[in-house]
Amino acid sequence: MKRLEGKVAVITGGSSGIGLATAQMFVEEGAYVFITGRRQDELDAAVRKIGKNTTGVQGDVSNLADLDRLYATVKEQRGHINILFANAGIGDSAPLGEISEAQFDKVFGVNVKGLLFSVQKALSLFKEGVGGGGSIILNASVASSKGFGMSTVYSATKAAVRSFARTWTVDLKQRGIRVNAISPGPIDTPIFNTSKLTEEQIEQFKTGIVSAVPMGRMGNPDEVAKAVLFLASDDSSYVTGIELFVDGGMAQI
C-alpha cells in the first residue's frame, strides 16, 4: 500500500523547487495535493508536470485573502486536510546597517506571518476524533542554527519557524496533529535562476557554500522531499516537535 493512500495534502510554494518535488512524491504515494504559487503560469506548468491528483491555487501566503481562497477550494473539493507542508518562503540579504524596513516587512511577511496563517487557517479542515489528527511540516533552514553573513532577517524568520514547531506541538497535541520542522542546507533549486546574480556569481556562491558541507555537494529537492514524506506519513507516527536537518552535515559539526 502506498504511504499516503487516500490522504489530502496542501503544499504552499508548490510550483517549483522543494515544494514541487514534494508534491510529485506525495502524489506518487497516493495523496491528492493542492499546491500554491504566486505566478499562475509557473503554477499551471507544475500541475501539468505532476500530471494527476493535483489542484493549483494561485496566491501569496502573506495575503490572508489568498489563504482564505485556498482553503475554501480545499473544503469545496475534498472537505478536509490530512497533511500540510508550509513550504513557501523567500530570501533576501543585506548586511547589518543596510537592512531596510521594506526588506524586513517583506521577508517576515512571507516567512513568518504567511507561514503562521497558512497553518492557523488550515486547522478547521483537520479532522477531529477517530481517524483525525494529521501532520504539519514547516520548512525552516540551517540558517536558523548557523551564522551566515548578510542573513540577519532571513535567519531570524527561520528561527521563528523552528520555534513554531515546538509551541504548536503543545498546542495541537490534544488533536493528534504532529508538527515538525524540516531544515534544508544548501539545495540546488531554480531560485538561483531568478536571482539578480550573474552565472559566474552563482557558481562562485555554490562553490563557497559547498566548502562548508561535509558531504561536499549541494543537495537536490528530491532529497528534501523524501524527508518531508517521512514526516507526513505514518512512518513517523511517534515523531513530533523535531527539527530534521537535510543538510549534508552542514549544521552538525
Q: What spatial distance separates the first Cα and last Cα of the chain, rounded to whole Å?
A: 38
Catalytic residue flag (residue 154)? yes
**Which entry of 32, 71, 154, 238 is annotated as an active-site residue?**
154
Q: Beta strand pairing status for 243-246 and 54-58? A: unpaired
Strand order across the beta sheet in which 8-11 lies: 54-58, 32-37, 8-11, 83-86, 134-139, 177-184, 243-246
Burial bucket for residue 19 (CB in 10 Å: 0-12, 13-18, 19+): buried
Whether 49 and 20 have beta carbons less than 8 Å apart is answered as: yes
Q: What are phi and psi of 39, to 5 degrees?
A: -105, 120
Helix (H, G, I), strand (E, B) or coil at 24: helix
Residues designated as active site: 154
